[in-house]
Amino acid sequence: MSERSATEARSESPTVLPAESFALSEIVSALSFALDLTEDAIPGHAVRCCLLGTRIGRELGLNDAALADLYYALLLKDIGCSSNAARMSQILGGDDRKAKREVKLVDWTRPTLAGLKMAWVNALPNGRFWQRARRVLDLSLHQKRNNVEVISIRCERGAGIARKIGMSAECARAIYCLDEHWDGAGYPDHLQAEAIPLLARILGVAQHLDVFAGDKDRRTAIETMRKRSGSWFDPELVRIVVSLDLSGALWAGCGAPDERARAVALEPGDAQFINAEKADRICEAFADVVDAKSPFTYRHCLDVAQVAEGIALQLGMTPRKRQFIYRAGLLHDLGKLRVPNSILDKPSPLDAAEWLVVREHPLLSQQILARMPAFAGIAAVTGRHHERLDGSGYPLGLKGEELSLEDRILCVADVYGALSENRPYRSGLPTEEIVAIFAREAPKRLDPHCVEALVAYLENKEEATPRAAGQTLNG
C-alpha cells in the first residue's frame, strides 16, 4: 500500500520534521511542564526552581560541572512523581494531585494539626463521615510507613529515569535525595546534615521557595525557610537564600512571561546539544512517566508509538516520517498527567465533570510540546489523537479533510492500544475482536487505509516491527 493512496482524499499534511540535533536545555525545560502536572503545581514550577536553585549554586561557588548537574536535577526533580500516583490515590481514596500539592505546605514528617486537617480534606472526599474518620485514623497510625512507601517509589523511579536518559550519577543522586531533611527526619533514608548530597539540599530549598511563594507569597516562603533552618534545611543555604532575597537577585524572572527563556539562558557552561538518538531516549523516558501513573496504562505510550510506526511502515512512509510518528506516539498522552488517578483508575463510568477533565488532555499535550519549535508538528498531531473522521471526536470535533495522515495514524494506533489493554472496567480484548470493531468503525470514524495497514502490521508483527525501543531510524 502506498503513502499516496492513503492521502488522496485529504490535503497535504503540514508536518514539520524534527531537526537532527536539539538543545538539551530546550527539550528538558519544555517537557518539565509535563512534570508540573503530576504535582498539581503552578505551571512553570520546575523552571522557576531551576532559576532559584541555579542562583543558589552560583552563590555557593559551584564549578560549571556541578552547576550543570544541579541545573538538570532541578528541571527533572519530579520525573519520578507519577510512579506513586496510583498508590497515593489508593491510600487516600481521593485526588492524588491535590494531596501532593497541599502536603508540601505542611510538615509531613510527623503528626501535626495542619497535617490532620489536610488528611481530612483529601481522604475519601465523597465518603460518609464515619468512613472518612476511619480513613484519617488509619492515615495517622501508618503515616511513617506510608511516607516511606510513596517517597521511596518516587525517589527510586526518578533516579532511574535520570540515569536512563544519560544524566550524571550526581544528578540522579540529587533527585533520589530530594526529600531528605537536614535533621535526619526526611525520606527515604533519613540522611542527616552533610550526608545529604549538596545538590539535593539545594533542590529541597528551591522547591520549598517556589511552592510557598505560589500558594502563599514570597515573604511567607522566606519566613518558613528561616523557621525550618536546621531542621528541614541546611542553615548555610538558608543564609544564602536570605542574602539573595535582600539583594533582589533571588526571584528575578520568576513568574515572568519569559521565565523559561531565562532558565534556558542560565544553563551553565556551553549549551549542550543532543542527537536524534538521545532525543528519542528522552521522549521514551517521558512516555514511561505517563505510563507509570496508572497500572492500567503500563507501556501504553510505548506500544502506541511502536504500532503507529508500524502502520507508517506499511503505508510506505519514509524513515524520517516514521520517526516523527514514533515520537508523537510516545508523547501523545503527556496531558494525562493532569488527570487524577481517582478518575484514571475508576472502575465505574465517569460523570460529566470527570469527562471534562479527561477531554482536556490532548490540548495539554499539544501546549507542552509546542514550547519546542522543533516539535511543533508533533505537538499538532498529539492534540488531535482523539479526533474522528465524522467529527465525533474531541477536543475540537475536527473531521475529514481537517485531519492529516499522521493524525489518522496516531488515532488508529491509540484506539488499538486502548482496546488491547486492560482497563479498570474490562480486560483487554483479543485481536480478532479488535479487528472486527475496526471494521465497523472504518471508514466513517477511522481512516480505512490506516486500519488496513494496522491489520497488515498485526499479521506480520514480528517481521514488520520497524524497531524496538532504543533504536533510532536513519534517513
Sequence-separated contacts (24+) of 226-231 with Cβ below 8 Å = 230/182, 230/183, 231/181, 231/182, 231/183, 231/185
Query: Coil, helix or strand for 162?
Result: helix
| Amino acid (1-letter code) at residue 118 | M
Given the residues 77, 278, 321, 336, select the one marked as catalytic. Answer: 336
Rg (CA), the chain: 23
Query: Coil, helix or strand for 352?
Result: helix
Measured in degrees and rounded to the nearest 5, phi and psi for residue 113 equal: -65, -40
Q: How far apart are CA 67 and CA 364, in angstroms?
A: 31
Q: Which three cell numbers stand for residue 226?
A: 528561616
Distances (CA, A) of 173 to 60, 185, 283: 19, 18, 21
**Burial class of residue 444, CB neighbours in 10 A (0-12, 13-18, 19+):** exposed
98 is catalytic: no
Q: How far apart are CA 390 and CA 232, in angstroms?
A: 56
DSSP 190: -
| HEC assignment per residue over 32-100 | HHHHHHHCCCCCCHHHHHHHHHHHHHHHHCCCHHHHHHHHHHHHHCCCCHHHHHHHHHHHHCCCHHHHH
Q: How far apart are CA 329 and CA 373, in angstroms?
A: 18
Q: What is the DSSP string of 19-32?
A: PSEEEHHHHHHHHH
Q: How far apart are the first and last CA of the chain?
A: 21
H helix or E strand, kind and range, residue 273:
strand 273-275
Catalytic residue IDs: 336
